[in-house]
Structures are given as structure tokens and as C-alpha cells.
Chains A and B, each alone.
Chain A
Amino acid sequence: QQKVQQSPESLSVPEGGMASLNCTSSDRNFQYFWWYRQHSGEGPKALMSIFSDGDKKEGRFTAHLNKASLHVSLHIRDSQPSDSALYFCAASEWRNNAGAKLTFGGGTRLTVRP
């Protein structure tokens, strides 16, 4: 079983609508969670990270973390066609003097319909 699982696999929302993406981890060694976005033909690009319980807002993007259930979500309000991409949840475990090791989920493909 993958350590980081995402749902849904694909999502279609109208322009201006709200997109909600979900992520669940099965490993309590994970302490930091990231959301990355990947447009076609490019490498993933970091959107935001979250460590504390509750909400974290950056512009149109809001991440929510429930550490007890290891559930993370990403909500995109006022979705734009340029938000159409593959979205990855990634969990980080810290190793002393060895940097952060990121484990990625399988991704959610978001399509924003004009």
C-alpha cells in the first residue's frame, strides 16, 4: 500500500469554482506535508507546506491538516484554467544531518473548464 494516498484521481470544476483535493498518510513518521503542482512537460513546483493542525492560506489556496488522522486537504477557490494540472501531496520525514526525504502520492488531475 502506498504511504501517501490521494483522492480523487481526477477532478473537473468550472472556472471560478472551488476544487478540493484530499491526501491521507499511513506513516506517523511524516511530520511535514507539501502540495506540489505539475503542468504538462514540466517538473513539479511547490505550492505550499503545512505542519500545524488547522488551516493555512496562501492567496487562493488553503491547506488543512488533521495530524490525528494524518489527513491533508487542498482547496483552490476561484479556480482558473491555468490551475489545470497534476497535483501531488508529498510527506516529509526528517533525518538528522541527512535532509528531508519526500514521499509523493499518486496525484490528482485537476481540469478547470472555461
Chain B
Amino acid sequence: EAGVTQSPRYAVLQEGQAVSFWCDPISGHDTLYWYQQPRDQGPQLLVYFRDEAVIDNSQLPSDRFSAVRPKGTNSTLKIQSAKQGDTATYLCASSFPGTGMNERLFFGHGTKLSVL
């Protein structure tokens, strides 16, 4: 079974540039998460979807970040005008429906972003 696929693996930008990250979750997983992980820190939730609906985007910096999952499968996270503070690894995860509180998240390898 294929895991969670993310692309690109790396991105290097100048401040003010835009970037998009793409995620393909495990087939059949209805919940999709985007996390931001600064170097040597724990992942911090940005946004998550159940099918195509946004469940929680309270931690997403809405002025510059956006995320969509139009058909309830693949998802795109976009940063409009990157800042040096956005330097981090962006992780996508998915989970299988119906397991309740014991939902196990399956993570992709992440996209490592450097903003110069």
C-alpha cells in the first residue's frame, strides 16, 4: 500500500515569493492534516479536513497561508508571500475513518522549506 506522498521534497525561496505544497493521502483516508514543524521542534497543526470540508484552520495564518482539498482526496497548501519565519518542514498526514479518538496519523516525508 502506498503511503502519504508529498511534493516537492525541498523548496528554497527568497522572502516575498510564493510556494505551493502538494499532498496525496493514503487511499480511503477521509481526514487530511497539514502540520508545520520548525527544526528540532514538534509538529504544530495548521489545518485539517474531513473529506473536502475544513474542520479546523484556527492555527493557519490566514493572511498568507491557504489550504484546499477540493475533491476530498489530494490537497494543496500555499504560502502567498513567504517570510523567514516560515522556514520549517511542512508535513501532511492522513487517517482512516471511524477509529474514534484512537485515530492513528500516517505522515508523509514532508517538504523542507527554506526562506532566505
Contact = CB atoms under 8 A, between A and B. Distances in A.
A11 interface: no
B88 interface: no
B56 A98 contact: yes
B33 to A, nearest CB: 8
Contacts of B101: 31-32, 51, 92-94, 100
Using C-beta atoms within 8 Å of the partner chain, give the interface range for chain A.
Answer: 20 to 34
Interface residues of A, dominant DSSP: strand
A104 B103 contact: no
Interface stretch (A14-22, A42-50, A53-61, A71-79): A42-50
B18 interface: no
B55 A98 contact: yes
Using C-beta atoms within 8 Å of the partner chain, give the interface range for chain B.
Answer: 20 to 34
Contacts of A34: 104
22 contacts: A31-B101, A32-B102, A43-B4, A43-B107, A43-B110, A44-B91, A46-B104, A88-B43, A92-B101, A92-B103, A95-B55, A99-B55, A100-B100, A100-B102, A100-B103, A101-B45, A102-B45, A104-B42, A104-B44, A106-B41, A107-B41, A107-B42
Given A32-B101, A43-B110, A44-B105, 4 more contacts: A4-B42, A94-B100, A99-B48, A99-B50
Interface of A: 4, 6, 31-32, 34, 36, 41-46, 49, 51, 86, 88, 92-95, 97-107, 109
